[in-house]
Chains A and B, each alone.
Chain A
Amino acid sequence: MPEKIEKELIGIVSRLFDEGRIHHFLGYGKGTVKFKTTPLIARNQEDLRELWLEDFCAPNLTLYLKDIKGQVGLLVKGCDSRSLVSLIKEGQVRREDLYVVGLPCPGQIDPGKVAGALGCESEELEEITRRGPEMVVRVNGQEKTLPKSLALMDKCLNCPYPKPLIFDSLLPGEYVAPVPGATPTEDELCRRPVPEKWAFWAEQFRRCLRCYACRNVCPACFCPRCIVEENMPQWVSPLATMGDNFVFHLLRLMHVAGTCTSCGECQRVCPMGIPLMKLNEKMTDDLRELFGYVAGVDLDRPFPFRTYRQEDPDDFIR
């Protein structure tokens, strides 16, 4: 990312610290492994030296608003700003406590997808860079090019909100979808018969380790104590059996319905590669279809499960 933007960002944040406007700034630091940046929780001017912007700014920093209270500044991509809207709506943070800096996002690279497109292992990828409309990938010493659509996360291609929905300042840059007009790949699982769906998901739930990374990285999962940790009564057994994993994932899905903005962090961090975004997207599609609700885009519409209309669909009820 150009130095100019970084300078501008440091200028803004320094001023905020100077004026005592914020106590913490949430940004990104340089990652220590390929294709990763690390969240940076800066507490003062000095920490800003570690600030780093690059092509891999996947982490959704609004996650840390669970822990870090008070006056906080943070960087948001367009998609992250939707989580922010959700959190403000949920009363988890107050708009006036935040200083929001918008980050132009060129779409997040999905190394797994790149490797898949090139037919190699993601461990073999050496470098991924952007060159105009294409991505240049170095694999085992060779350069290969890919269209963006085969390298960026699916959710990024036709990003519906490239420009943050709320911000106090915007860093210079282009706020546009990386591949405008890209049609989302249809989830062909939807069309398969019910037993085949179960065969697919039972295998996914079976593999879940219950490391809770999906829950802990989720900005929408802000309960101080999760129901799966309760044992009196114990609703969900801590044993990572397929059945209990099923209860855990479905329950989590129901709990974040309306707050989940499909930011994709759960799937990105899952160490077992469970396609959790399929579930999220099914849920967000349903909410849109059934109640016309889209999470994290406005502060005024009530959450879908806290309101109703008399004409809500009830064709499934006897």
Chain B
Amino acid sequence: MEVKPEVEKKSKGWEPRILAFLCRWCSYAGADLTGSSRISYPPNVRILRVPCSGRVNPIFILKTLRAGMDGVLVSGCHPGDCHYTAGNYTARRKFAVLSRLLEYVGIDPRRVQFSWVSASEGEKFAKVVSEVVAEVKALGPNELFRLNTSDHTAEGAESREP
């Protein structure tokens, strides 16, 4: 796998695509508020509503990266505010380990980000999204798993040890 300098990856006009998992009680409501307060934020996020940040299984994040999204944002209620009492606390533990592991295998932590945004924090949501988008933009597109379609054997067969 070649390691290209970051600048080279930035093709012209490229905009990052980020999948955001938002807890329906806090962050999703927060995002709603952002809209109804007419605060603008970059249109690069696709929002997926989940019941709780605790619902976000690590595989959601892994698969999102595998599918080629440039970044992932998981956002839930602030500690202590979870509608289900402790969903965000256990989620926090999982994410702490996952984000370290992802960093260890070479996935830039800026690609997978976490935030607490309450239903009243419309401004914070806009700020978080803007920051995440800017950071992912600086990283360039997610080409970690790009399959070269002209290489008919995908990553493997020919180059794999026989």
A contacts, CB < 8 Å to B: 189-190, 194-203, 206-207, 227, 235-236, 239-244, 246-247, 250-251, 253-254, 257, 272, 279, 282-283, 286-287, 290-291, 304-308, 310, 312-314, 316-318
Contacts and interface: CB of A to CB of B under 8 A. Distances in A.
Given A243-B144, A243-B145, A310-B80, A250 B95 contact: no
Contacts, number: 143
A251 B62 contact: yes
A317 B97 contact: no
Contacts of B108: 194
Nearest to A244: B66
B27 to A, nearest CB: 11
A247 B144 contact: no
6 contacts: A241-B156, A242-B145, A246-B62, A250-B98, A251-B62, A283-B101
Contacts of A206: 1, 155-156, 159-160
Interface of B: 1-3, 58-59, 62-63, 66, 79-80, 86, 89-90, 92-109, 113-116, 128, 131, 144-145, 147, 154-156, 159-161
A206 B63 CA distance: 17
Nearest to A209: B160
Contact of B92 (A197, A241, A312): A312
B94 to A, nearest CB: 6
Nearest to B113: A318
Contacts of B2: 199
A199 B3 contact: yes
Contacts of A194: 103, 106-108
B106 A197 contact: yes
Contacts of A243: 66, 144-145, 147, 155
Contact of A195 (B3, B58, B79, B86): B3
A286 B95 contact: no
A241 B97 contact: no
Given A242-B156, A306-B90, A318-B116, A254 B98 contact: yes
Given A251-B59, A254-B101, A283-B101, 7 more contacts: A239-B154, A282-B100, A282-B101, A304-B97, A308-B93, A313-B96, A318-B114
A198 B107 contact: yes
Contacts of B97: 254, 257, 283, 286-287, 290, 304
Contacts of B66: 243-244, 246-247
Q: Which of B3, B92, B93, B115 has the most CB of A within 10 A?
A: B93
A310 B79 contact: yes
B20 to A, nearest CB: 12
A219 to B, nearest CB: 20
Nearest to B145: A243
A316 B154 contact: no
Contacts of A239: 154
B93 A200 contact: no
A55 B143 CA distance: 47
A206 B156 CA distance: 6
Contacts of A305: 90, 93-94
B96 A290 contact: yes
A282 B144 contact: no
A198 B108 CA distance: 9
Nearest to A205: B105
Given A286-B100, A316-B95, A198 B1 contact: yes
A312 B89 contact: yes
A235 B57 CA distance: 11
B145 A246 contact: yes
Contacts of B109: 316
Most buried by A among B114, B144, B145, B161: B145
